[in-house]
Structure 1
Amino acid sequence: MNKIAAIIGGGVIGGGWAARFLLNGWDVRVFDPDPEAKRKINEVLGNARRALPMLYDCALPQEGSLRFCDSIAEAVTGADWVQESVSERLDLKHKVFAEIQEADARVLIGSSTSGFMPSQLQEGAARPERIMVTHPFNPVYLMPLIEVVPSPATDPHAVEAASEILTSLGLYPLKVRKEIDAHIADRFLEAVWREALWLVKDGIATTEEIDNAIRYGFGLRWGQMGLFETYRVAGGEAGMRHFMAQFGPALKWPWTKLMDVPEFTDELVDMIADQSDAQSGHLSIRDLERKRDGNLVAMIRALRQQGNAAGRLVNEHQRTVFEVPAPALPLITQDRVIPVDWTDMNGHMNEGRYGQIFSDAAEVVMAMVGADEEYVARGMSYFTVETTVKYLAETHAGERVVVETEVTEGAGKKLRCFHTMKRKNDGEVMATCDQLMLHVSLETRRTCVPPEDVAARVTRLAALNGEA
């Protein structure tokens, strides 16, 4: 039976939360009195269904069910988690928390608030120990960071349970040690935003030039190293102490205006809005969201290959999602969505990526016979010596495909596989691959006979075809 998440407030953030839970196999109930809530959430879901599965090399859990409820009580009763994402009005949040706890006093409640501290949210609550801040970043279905902020009144066991739930969704729960206005990340964003307003107001830079300074410069470094690790590298061999000694005096220079705020006049608003329209007004919000999602998928997948930052998190989450298949026909060795970075100038998957997906399929077969990562660490593996690939239909980003594999030869040093890649929704064959692998010693880099246990598993897989 699926776990249940209740989403109270179905705007951009609430919709993102709904998508994150749904695509990880939770059933979701939504309450939002906005008559447009269903349309808005379904549009967010459309983007999420396209983007999130692209991060993974295997299928996510079967999608849960989505239900729109007529009351808070209907949504939260019996839920395993409640995520509040209503407007940033403290009186409204207090009213919502009271209704939630009146309906189900035991449920865990996370608030998406970016500004209020948990102690403020807990004022007047029947069970303040069940309430905490779980502040996400947009889009919630792709961005992994969740700031988990308890107050002294929050039950530590509730915080631990919340962290386990969030981790199971592929998120990164960052526990904030002490409650503070705007938590951690938004305080950085406010500082950068404030300085950016001055740069525009004073005619130093346009909105596009400021965005370029970020995306072509420190934004790339921060995305994989953060702030302090970036500066540690900047300190060279002498490290962080050298960096601090070298750049410490700059803290006294009047470079920034972080303690001052430009007067928020209509003129400044018009200037910012006009420049922003000129920069990207030719694209709809949905176009921008899809572009953003595609960029995030490609960047996080690059970090996956390096095993760093958000990429490491996806790798860890995938290990909890993927299971080596049982030896039975049809043997499904790949079930995944084609990521956006696998396509070429023609708009379809390029030939190199067919090699990638069939290689990934072969690694699943290797895991089935015991030639997994631990086996490789012991100094043995299978190497591909020959492949014949036939491209039969175009494959596009966002399509879900499966690879069915037959072990057609399994004797001695040989392991031969025939892979058939099909579109999941209609079974059309997209490509096939005949792949011959030989068992090798990684010490000598030459072929050798595999151990008896591995050889026996290979023989059993090959025998499946005769039994079919």
Structure 2
Amino acid sequence: MTRKAAIIGGGVIGGGWAARFLLNGWDVAVFDPDPEARRKIDEVLANARRALPALYDKALPPEGNLSYHSDLHAAVAGALWVQESVPERLDLKHRVHDAITRAADAEAVIGSSTSGFRPSQLTAEGARVIVAHPFNPVYLLPLVELVGEAGHCARAAEMLHEIGMSPLTLRKEIDAHIADRLLEAVWRESLWLVKDGIATTEEIDEAIRMGFGLRWAQMGLFETYRIAGGEAGMKHFLAQFGPALQWPWTKLMDVPEFTPELVDLIAGQSEAQSGHLSIRDLERLRDDNLVGMMRALRKSGSGAGGTITAHEAALPDAASADLPVTVDRVIPQSWTDYNGHMNEAHYVEVSCQATDRFMEMIGADAAYVAAGGSYFTVENHVRYLAEMRAGGRVTVTTQVLAGAGKKMHLFHRLLMADGTLAATVETLLLHVDMATRRSAPPSTEVAGALGRFAEAHAGLPKPKGVGLAVGHRG
């Protein structure tokens, strides 16, 4: 049964929440009196549809239904999750939360996107709400800080995991929670560096993105400093650098006065830094970079990469027809080249994913490989038949041409969303003993599973393109 989320407030954050739920198969109801809300959310959704599916090697669920409402009660009715993302004014939040509490189902999660208010402030007038503070773009970044009543937070965490997010439940409530307090420290120092003429906005951003920002993406702060301590670890690091905390380096307890001159200085430097790009251009650049970094982190399972891998494992496999569907995914931006279509190497990469999935289907999975057996590819023949582009969906069906003894002969068809055949990949593999790195018969179980597929596919027509040499189109 499709689940429903209600989004109260459709700005950048509310739109990001709407996209995150919608692209994970939830129905989404939006309430926002702003006449521009629909346009703003549509623009956020366009970015999300381009970026979020590119994180995964499996297809996300079919999108839910998106609806807009002029009545808050109608938007909230039947929702399992209600997310408030109105401006940071406590009086406004009290009014909105009072209405949500009266309209929402008793077991619904009610979350506030507030970046600064504590749950005790939000519930002071009797509302039932927890802090569920996300990070922009909500549809890509997995972190959500949860603060509030334990049972409410536990239900929220369970649902957030199901939509590919990483909830962090705070042990105690505190102004600005955890992440924004850390960001505030860097922000204060940066303002002083600009005001005192030590660095420009661009130079400060360069220091972050070329240095510690890259380390933090995979290891955070403390693990990074543990490594900095060398073989002696964190104790050595603290002994060596701890005394520096007493030095008058920082101005964390002070804030420069926001004079018109300082505002003009920062705004002018920011305009010189990136004013040649529109906000939408910057958002797409940000999203493409985040997708690339998070996909890289998937290989090691570090940071956000582990969250994406876990979420993908919970996504359902595509339904099979006559032939098993071994890939069903969206093409990421990073797979395109200077011609604007998917690079030829990634046609082979998709076929490799199909082969890996088929190996799992016959029992030659990660555990089987760890136990000492696997299939190695010895030959591929690719026919490129149509262009595929970023954001397009590709489905692969796999036909077993032969599967006896040490050999496994497969034929992959790469299909576009409209059914167009984009490529075929004929691949021959040999079973290998991982200890000797030489060909060897597979286990009885794997051989039997492969044989059953080969028998089932034996009566199918011979695929067009099988056995051709380079240059022969068949």
TM-score bracket, shorter-length normalisation: over 0.9
- The one of 393, 396, 420 equivalent to 1:400 is 393
Tell me what 2:174 maps to.
180
Tell me what 2:109 maps to.
108
How much has 1:104 moved relative to structure 2? 2.6
CA contact (8 A) 1:325 1:368 kept: no
Give ranges in structure 1 of 5+ residues lacking alignment: none
CA distance in 2, matches of 1:104, 1:295: 38
Give SS of 1:422's match: strand
Tell me what 1:216 maps to.
210
CA contact (8 A) 2:401 2:458 kept: no
Deviations 1:45-71 (A, max 9, x none): 010011000000010111111111121
Give the number of equivalent residue pairs: 459
CA distance in 1, matches of 2:427, 2:455: 17
Identity %: 63
Amino acid at match of 1:395: M
Larger deviation: 43-52 or 332-341?
A: 332-341
- The one of 120, 134, 154 equivalent to 1:160 is 154
CA distance in 2, matches of 1:6, 1:196: 37
Deviations 1:99-133 (A, max 9, x none): 112113512201000010000000112xx5x4110
CA distance in 1, matches of 2:197, 2:75: 50
How much has 1:467 moved relative to structure 2? 4.1
How much has 1:355 moved relative to structure 2? 1.8
Give SS of 2:388's match: coil
CA distance in 2, matches of 1:186, 1:356: 39
Tell me what 2:6 maps to.
6
How much has 1:392 moved relative to structure 2? 2.1
1:418 to 2:411 alignment: yes
How much has 1:159 moved relative to structure 2? 1.5
How much has 1:78 moved relative to structure 2? 1.3
CA contact (8 A) 1:348 1:394 kept: yes
CA contact (8 A) 2:80 2:105 kept: no
After the TM superposition, which residues 38-437 of structure 1 pair with which residues of structure 2 at under 5 Å, given as runs?
38-104=38-104, 106=106, 107-125=108-126, 128=127, 130-150=128-148, 154=149, 156-323=150-317, 328-424=321-417, 426-437=418-429
Amino acid at match of 1:110: G
How much has 1:207 moved relative to structure 2? 0.6
CA contact (8 A) 1:324 1:364 kept: no
CA distance in 1, matches of 2:252, 2:245: 12
Deviations 1:235-273 (A, max 9, x none): 101111111111111111111111111110111111111
CA distance in 2, matches of 1:274, 1:324: 51
CA distance in 2, matches of 1:444, 1:393: 41
CA contact (8 A) 1:235 1:243 kept: yes
CA distance in 1, matches of 2:257, 2:76: 43
Give SS of 1:223's match: helix
Tell me what 2:468 maps to.
none
Deviations 1:179-225 (A, max 9, x none): 00000000111111111111111111111011000000110011111
1:28 to 2:21 alignment: no
Structure 2 length as normaliser, TM-score?
0.94
Larger deviation: 289-298 or 198-207?
A: 198-207
CA contact (8 A) 1:329 1:464 kept: no
CA distance in 2, matches of 1:324, 1:283: 39
Larger deviation: 375-384 or 282-291?
A: 375-384
Give ranges in structure 2 of 5+ residues lacking alignment: 461-474
How much has 1:302 moved relative to structure 2? 0.4
Give SS of 1:302's match: helix
Give SS of 2:458's match: helix
CA contact (8 A) 1:422 1:430 kept: yes
Deviations 1:168-187 (A, max 9, x none): 11111001111000000001
Give SS of 1:182's match: coil
CA distance in 1, matches of 2:316, 2:296: 20
Amino acid at match of 2:164: G
Tell me what 2:435 maps to.
443
1:457 to 2:458 alignment: no
Larger deviation: 271-280 or 347-356?
A: 347-356
Give SS of 1:411's match: coil
Amino acid at match of 2:225: Y
Larger deviation: 406-415 or 173-182?
A: 406-415
RMSD: 1.3
How much has 1:19 moved relative to structure 2? 0.4
How much has 1:346 moved relative to structure 2? 3.2
CA contact (8 A) 1:168 1:317 kept: yes
Give SS of 2:403's match: strand
Give SS of 1:279's match: helix
CA distance in 1, matches of 2:438, 2:459: 33
